[in-house]
Structure 1
Amino acid sequence: MAINLQKGQRINLKKENGAMLTQACVGINWGAIEKKGFFGGITREAVDLDASCILYDANKNATEVIYFGNLKSKNGAIRHSGDDLTGDIDGDDGLDNEVITVDFSNLDSNVEHVALVLNSYKGQDFGTIPFASIRIYEGTPTNVREVFAKYDIANDASFRGHVSMVMGVFYKRNGEWKFNAIGDPTKDRKLQETIETVKQQYL
């Protein structure tokens, strides 16, 4: 049974059988913006959201960024499925548009935080996107074995007027990885600004 995460909720990465989760996928699903046409029809505007993953060490220094321009970490522990430039044009197909896969067992030992952020590449307001959700699960981008947690980011008025957000942060405590479901919009316009916001406010 998946946990419906609330903002600010912290959870242990334990599966239903009690074993620790050593690998996780973070999937983001979103839809194109619907607009009414001049003659009553509906047109759809492609939405380019970008999921990114930032690694930080114990001193809160960003050591690596995995995003659409760098699809895997140097040691391969984190992989990005690739850039989705449109979102679901024909309504929600139930599939993730972008997936970041994290293998905790192979992360470099100096990594203490794994932050997940979302930026609207063209500056399209989150409040205008019809649906957008995040889920954390065990498996692969094409094989969802067990949904571990999920939360909805579209049906929240606090996202209106924003084009960047911090989805959440995996963090290491006493050798075990935990997850902080943040889900906060930020005032940032670009990924580089969000990387600094995470460092200053969320680690």
Structure 2
Amino acid sequence: MAINLQKGQRINLEKSNGSKLQSVCVGINWGAIEKKGMFGFGKTKEAVDLDASCALYNENKQLTEVVYFGSLSSKDGSIKHSGDDLTGDMGGDDGLDNEVITVDFSRLNPSVTYVAFVLNSFKGQDFGTIPFASIRIYEGIPKRVNEVFAKYDIANGSDFAGHVSMVLGVFYKKNGEWKFNALGEPTKDKKLEQTVKTVTEKYL
């Protein structure tokens, strides 16, 4: 049963049968923006480039690595990014995520204590204008979803309108177990580096 995430909600990484999740996918889905054509005739599609990224921190809350469109894998190979999607779904929602970051907790460097996920609109397109933009956290692989256990509806979330960056949430290790703090906080940042700095200062 997927949870519609609420801000500040903390969830255990458990499957419906009670077993612990060893790996998760964080998937972002979105569409191109539909615009009216010249003089109100016809419609055109404007490509949308959203960027999912994650920042890794040690127990002292020091940034050790960022996985993003320019660096698609963590040094230890435990985190993988599916690659940069520059357009969104041009022909309507195809049901697949446009960008997926996979985290294998069993392979993650033991010194990593926090894995923070952020989303940026690369061209500065307002989240509130992007069709069916959503985030889901699930067990499976990028092309196959086994069990969704949390999701965020960005397109219909009034808090996100007027913003181009947000902090999705933070996976954190407590007593050797991984949990997730759902933040869903839009930020005033324009670029990835600024958003990571905001996470470091405010959200760990």
What is the TM-score when the length of structure 2 is the normalising length? 0.97
Counterpart in the other structure of 2:151: 150
Instruction: Determine the C-alpha separation between the residues in 1 that align with 2:130 and 2:140.
Output: 27
User: Is residue 32–residue 47 contact of structure 2 (8 Å, CA) maintained in 1?
Assistant: yes
1:112 maps onto 2:108 in alignment = no
Offset at residue 140 of structure 1 (A): 0.6
Match of 1:60 in 2: 61
Q: What is the CA distance between 1:40 and its match in structure 2?
A: 2.3
Match of 1:95 in 2: 96
The answer (yes or no) to whether the contact 2:137–2:149 under 8 Å persists in 1 is yes
- Note the 1:1-203 alignment, pairs <5 A: 1-38=1-38, 39-203=40-204
1:159 positional shift: 1.4
Q: Deviations over 1:58-116 (max 9, x none)?
A: 11111010000100000100000000000011111111000000000111111110001
Secondary structure (helix, strand or coil) at the match of 1:158 reads helix
Unaligned runs of 5+ residues in structure 2 are: none
Aligned-pair identity (%): 74
Contact preservation (8 Å) 2:113, 2:172: yes
Count of residue pairs brought into register by the alignment: 203
Q: Name the TM-score, length of structure 1 as normaliser.
A: 0.97
Residues in 1 aligned to 2:89 and 2:100: alpha-carbon distance in whole angstroms:
15
Report if the CA contact (8 A) 1:153-1:183 is conserved: no
Amino acid at match of 1:146: E
The runs of 4+ residues in structure 1 deviating greater than 6 Å are none
Q: Which amino acid aligns with 1:112?
A: T
Deviation at 1:188? 0.5
Aligned-pair Cα RMSD in Å:
0.9
Consecutive unaligned residues in structure 1, runs of 5 or more: none
- Could you say what secondary structure the match of 2:106 adopts? helix
Distance in 2 of aligned mates of 1:46 and 1:69: 20
Contact map agreement 1:52 1:65 (CA 8 A) in 2: yes
Q: Tell me if structure 2 keeps the 8 A contact 1:23–1:105.
A: yes
2: distance between equivalents of 1:35 and 1:128?
A: 11
